[in-house]
Structure 1
Amino acid sequence: MRTRVGIIGAGPAGLYLSHLLHRSGIESVVLERRDRDYCERRQRAGIVEHGVAEALIAAGVGTRMEREGFRHEGIELRFGGQARRIDFTALTGRSVRLYPQTEIVRDLIARRIADDGRLLFEAEASAIEGAETDRPRIHFTHDGTEQVLECDYVVACDGFHGIGRASLPSDVVRTFEKVYPFGWLGILADVPPSCDELIYAHHPRGFALHSMRSESVSRLYLQVPNGTDAADWSDEQIWDELSARFALRSGGWELKRGPITDKSVTPMRSFVTEPMRHGRLFLAGDSAHIVPPTGAKGLNLAMNDVMLLAEALVAEDRRGTTELLDAYSDTALRRIWRAMHFSFWMTTLLHTLPEDDAFDQRLRLSHLEHIAASPAAATHLAENYTGIPRI
Structure 2
Amino acid sequence: MRTQVAIIGGGPAGLLLSHLLHLQGIDSVVLESRDRGYVERRQRAGMLEQGTTDVLRESGAGERLDREGLVHHGLELRFGGAGHRIPLTDLTGRTVTVYAQTEIVKDLVAKRLADGGDVRFETEVIGLDASAPSVTFRDTAGEVHTLECDYIAGCDGFHGVSRPAVPGLRTFSREYPFAWLGILADVPPSTEELIYANHDRGFALHSLRSPQVSRLYLQVPPDEDIAAWPDARIWEELAARFATDDGWKLHEGPITDKSITPMRSFVAEPMRHDRLFLAGDAAHIVPPTGAKGLNLAVSDVIVLARALTERYASGSDTLLDAYSSTCLRRVWRAEHFSYWMTTLLHVDPAADGFALRLQRSHLDYVASSEAAKTMLAENYTGLPIG
What TM-score does the superposition give when structure 2 sets the normalisation length?
0.99
SS at match of 2:111: helix
Cα pair 1:9 1:157 within 8 Å, conserved:
yes
Partner of 2:5: 5
RMSD: 0.7
Given that 2:14 and 2:155 are in contact with CA atoms closer than 8 Å, whether structure 1 keeps it comes out as: yes
Which residue identity does 1:156 align to in structure 2? G
Name the structure 2 match of 1:155. Answer: 153
* Corresponding letter in the other structure for 2:18: S
Deviation per residue, 1:109-139 (Å, 9 max, x gap): 000000000000001111112x123xx1111
For structure 2, which runs of at least 5 residues remain unmatched after alignment?
none
Does residue 1:114 correspond to 2:110, yes or no? no
User: Distance between the aligned counterparts of 2:266 and 2:157, measured in 1?
Assistant: 12
Preserved CA contact (<8 Å) 1:74 1:85? yes
Deviates more, 1:328-337 or 1:361-370: 361-370
For 2:31, give the aligned amino acid.
L
Alpha-carbon contact 2:177-2:221 (below 8 Å) kept: yes
Contact 2:51 2:385 in 1 (8 A): no
- 1:61-106 Cα offsets, whole Å, 9 max, x none, are 0111011000000100100111000000111111101000110000
Per-residue deviation, 1:196:
0.2
3-state SS in 2 of match to 1:353: coil
Q: Amino acid of the residue matched to residue 243 of structure 1? A: A
Q: Distance in 2 between matches of 1:192 and 1:354?
A: 32
Query: SS in structure 2 opposite 1:213?
Result: strand
Q: How does 1:308-387 map to 2 (within 5 A)?
A: 308-387=303-382
AA paired with 2:101? Answer: Q
CA positional deviation for 1:354: 1.4
Residue equivalent to 1:132: 131
Name the amino acid aligned to 2:336.
H
Q: CA separation in 2, counterparts of 1:354 and 1:126?
A: 42
Match of 2:53 in 1: 53
Question: AA paired with 2:216?
Answer: L
Matched, 1:272 2:271: no
Please give the per-residue CA displacement for 1:259-318, whole angstroms capped at 9, x wherever unaligned. 111100001000000000000000000000000000000000000000000000000001
**Aligned pairs (5 A) from 1:166-205:** 166-169=164-167, 172-205=168-201
SS at match of 1:305: helix
Q: Structure 1: any 5+ residue segments left out of the alignment?
A: none
Identity across matched positions, percent: 63
SS for the counterpart of 1:84 is strand
Q: Which residue in the other structure is 1:78 paired with?
A: 78
Alignment counterpart, residue 293 of structure 1, candidates 272, 288, 297 = 288
Whether 1:283 and 2:278 are equivalent positions in the alignment is yes
Q: How many residues align structurally?
A: 385
Displacement of 1:249 = 1.6
Contact 2:207 2:214 in 1 (8 A): yes
- Separation in structure 2 between the aligned mates of residue 250 and residue 198 of structure 1, nearest angstrom: 18
Structure-2 residue corresponding to 1:255? 250
Q: Is the 8 A contact 2:303 2:385 kept in 1?
A: no
- What SS class does the counterpart of residue 6 from structure 2 fall into? strand
Q: Which amino acid aligns with 2:346?
A: H
CA distance in 1 between counterparts of 2:226 and 2:102 reads: 22
Query: Residue 304 of structure 1: SS of its match in structure 2?
Result: helix
Q: Is the 8 A contact 1:127 1:139 kept in 2?
A: yes
Report the Cα offset of residue 153 of structure 1. 0.2
The match for 1:141 among 116, 138, 142 is 138
CA distance in 2, matches of 1:122, 1:389: 35
Tell me how far apart the structure 2 counterparts of residues 57 and 348 of structure 1 sit (CA, whole Å): 34
Q: CA deviation at 1:339?
A: 0.2
Alignment partners' CA distance in 1, 2:74 and 2:14: 30
SS in 1 for 2:223: coil
Instruction: State how far apart, in whole Å, the 1-side matches of 2:304 and 2:223 are.
Output: 38
Q: 8 Å contact 1:204–1:361 — kept in the other structure?
A: no
Give the residue type in structure 1 aligned to 2:158.
F
Cα deviation, residue 390, structure 1 = 3.1
The secondary structure found in structure 2 opposite 1:163 is coil
**Following the alignment from structure 1 to structure 2, what is the Cα–Cα distance between the partners of residues 132 and 46?**
36
**Partner Cα distance (1:269, 1:120) in 2:** 31
- Structure 1 contact 188–263 (Cα < 8 Å) conserved: yes
Structure 1 counterpart SS, 2:162: helix
Q: Distance in 1 between matches of 2:110 and 2:245?
A: 48
